[in-house]
Amino acid sequence: MHIDHGIEEQTQEQPLIEEPEDQEPDPQPEEYPQAAPDFASEEANPSEEEGQDIQKILDREGAEKSMLTEYFEANKKYLEARDILYRDFPWYFTWQKCKMTKFWQKRKREGVKQIGRIISNHPAEGERYFLRVLLNHVAGATLFEDLRTVDGEILPSFREAAERIGLIEADNTLDDCLTKAETFQMPSALRRLFATILVHCEASNNMVLIDIRNMLQSMGKDIKSYPLPEIDEEHDSSHGVDREIYEESIIEVDPDHETLAALLNAEQMSAYDEILAAVDSGEGGVFFVDGPGGTGKTFLYKALLATVRGVGKIAVATATSGVAASIMPGGRTAHSRFKIPLTIYDGLSCSFTKQSGTAQLLKEASLMIWDEATMTRRQAVEALDNSTRDIMNAPDRPFGGKTVVFGGDFRQFLPVIRKGSRAQIVDASLRRSYLWESMRHLNLVRNMRAQSDPWFAEYLLRVGNGTKEDGGDGYIRLPDEICVPYTGKDTDLHRLIEDVFPMLDDNITDPDHITSRVILSKRNDCVDRINM
Ligand SMILES: Nc1ncnc2c1ncn2[C@@H]1O[C@H](COP(=O)(O)OP(=O)(O)OP(=O)(O)O)[C@@H](O)[C@H]1O
């Protein structure tokens, strides 16, 4: 069977090319009704048949024959017909319909410019629509079954055949769409989107049920406890596994990240070994990777994630900010992944239940990473501790005996406490948590980002540690050698630009030159002035 892997056209209307003189005049475009096994042929003209008994019409000789069933017959009879799509049939055959019989007859003159148009129908019509999609792309069928056969396998529906050939989108595209929408759409908008998908996007009942099942799972409920139809597990790629676990388990390991472990420096390697030993032993452990900016914390996390996921274990990557989370493969913000409530107070727990998909994921996880933990309020970390002790039934073990790696740099941002005093900010930091002493502290000090500029790396460390450069008034004086002097003249800005982007005119087309340097400014009007 010949399969045409085209895209389904929106319309089959083409300019009608008048037929030259022909013994078989066929002046109007053929309009084909199509009859799926479950649909009656539409060939009868309702106005002609008005008033007649339906049974009589059905009993009439030849009533079971339609253009489509006879197209199958023609394919059986004529070998050369099997390369012709149903819609192109009138080029080579004419439709003969007399009182007693109906059939496609071979044209005496082939390739007559006669077009056919299959009656259009809407995706909401289900199988009838998918049959039409297949007829527009698959030639040579001698039975309805042939249209449902792909690579030798007879599929249960036209829809699945169309999907397997790639003529329509698979449900997982719709699933992705719903998953993304779930994170930011208001409930009413989400329901509208769901209804729109049902009506316009060819979603199968199975997909709808799978989606409802997943949503129920993340709320800690089982779809089986509701009076809903059974899910056909054969068509569920997650095979009933909790969505959270399924999504984590399909994160692909970047081959470049698999080689990172071999590149770690001595301090990174020692941290890597200690953490992996905790993972491998199954005993668990709580770690805090303390490293100033540029010392390779993210590099270490990527190496750990690749190693743990590479052996088929689950590693959960999170960070306090979305930007830091997005740098790690499969990264999510800690608030979203661990369902940490927005209102924070002492003694809090996460808002997932023991039966939820999130709880199952954390139970299964061999490693959890929380980057920028120094920027979050300690109560958020303590909420995770309370919940993991609970789900692991290990009330006496920090994080229920899981391996958890926190990382961050207290020299960078501390938690934000609106209008908070210095004491309140310090009190909210992870260092003040009862968990701090139970964490194994792993220090990274070698600046890998500023390797070629050891002076700057050391200077940064001194600033971060609050020594020397702080004048005591809360301000830090930058050394002259790293400043472009400000004289108050118009030429100052040009000097700054020349300093950051040397020989700009010559390098303007070099993407590396342009993207490897930047002038930052606090205010948009300054940005506009610099860009002018
Ligand atoms: N062992 C290493 N070998 C080669 N390059 C490294 C190594 N470790 C880190 N780097 C590089 O150093 C730079 C800084 O590393 P990374 O971003 O991991 O630091 P970080 O501690 O997470 O920084 P920040 O706190 O600012 O986010 C990156 O470009 C990274 O690729």
pLDDT at 414 exceeding the cut of 80: yes
User: Residues 12-18: contacts with CB within 8 Å, 24+ apart?
Assistant: 12/87, 12/115, 12/116, 12/117, 12/118, 12/120, 12/136, 13/117, 14/115, 16/115, 17/113, 17/114, 17/115, 18/113
| Lowest-pLDDT range of 81-95, 193-207, 428-442 | 193-207
Residue nearest to atom 24 of ligand 1 (CA): 293
Determine the 3-state secondary structure of 405 from DSSP: strand
Judge if the beta carbon of residue 297 lies within 6 A of ligand 1. yes
Name the phi and psi angles at 287, rounded to 5: -125, 150
Residue 296 — pLDDT band, cuts 50, 70, 90? very high
Q: Is 408 in the pocket of ligand 1 (CB under 6 A)?
A: no
Residues 6+ positions from 334 with CB-CB distance below 8 Å: 318, 319, 320, 325, 340, 370, 373, 376, 380, 384
Say if CB 82 and CB 75 are below 8 A apart: yes
pTM: 0.59
Nearest CA to ligand 1 atom 27: 293
Q: Which of 108-112, 156-160, 219-223, 346-350 has the highest mean pLDDT?
A: 346-350
Is the pLDDT reported for residue 21 higher than 80? no
Stated as kind and residue range, the H or E segment containing 161 is helix 158-165
Buried b (16+ CB within 10 A) or exposed e, 190-221: eeebbeebeeebbbbebbbbbbebbbbbbeee
Ligand 1 pocket member 335 (CB < 6 A): no
pLDDT digits (tens, 9 = 90+) for 65-124: 888 899 999 999 999 899 988 888 888 888 888 777 888 988 887 656 666 667 766 666
Return the half-sphere exposure (C-beta side, CA atoms, 13 A cut-off) of residue 532: 6
In this predicted structure, the answer to whether residue 430 has a pLDDT above a threshold of 90 is yes
**Across the chain, which distance is largest between two alpha carbons, in Å?**
106
526 pLDDT above the threshold of 70: yes
pLDDT score of 219? 67
- Average pLDDT, integer, range 422-428: 89
ipTM above 0.90, yes or no: yes
Whose Cα sits closest to atom 29 in ligand 1?
Answer: 449
Q: Is 296 in the pocket of ligand 1 (CB under 6 A)?
A: yes
What is the C-alpha radius of gyration for the chain, rounded to an integer number of angstroms?
A: 34
- DSSP letters spanning 283-312: --EEEEEE--TTSSHHHHHHHHHHHHHHTT
Asked whether 448 lines ligand 1 (CB < 6 A), one says: yes
Structure tokens at 221: 């409920």
The owner of tokens 């860009």 is 531
Q: Is the CB of 295 under 6 A from ligand 1?
A: yes
Going from the Cα of 303 to the center of ligand 1, the distance in angstroms, rounded, reads: 11
What is the reported pLDDT for 236? 59
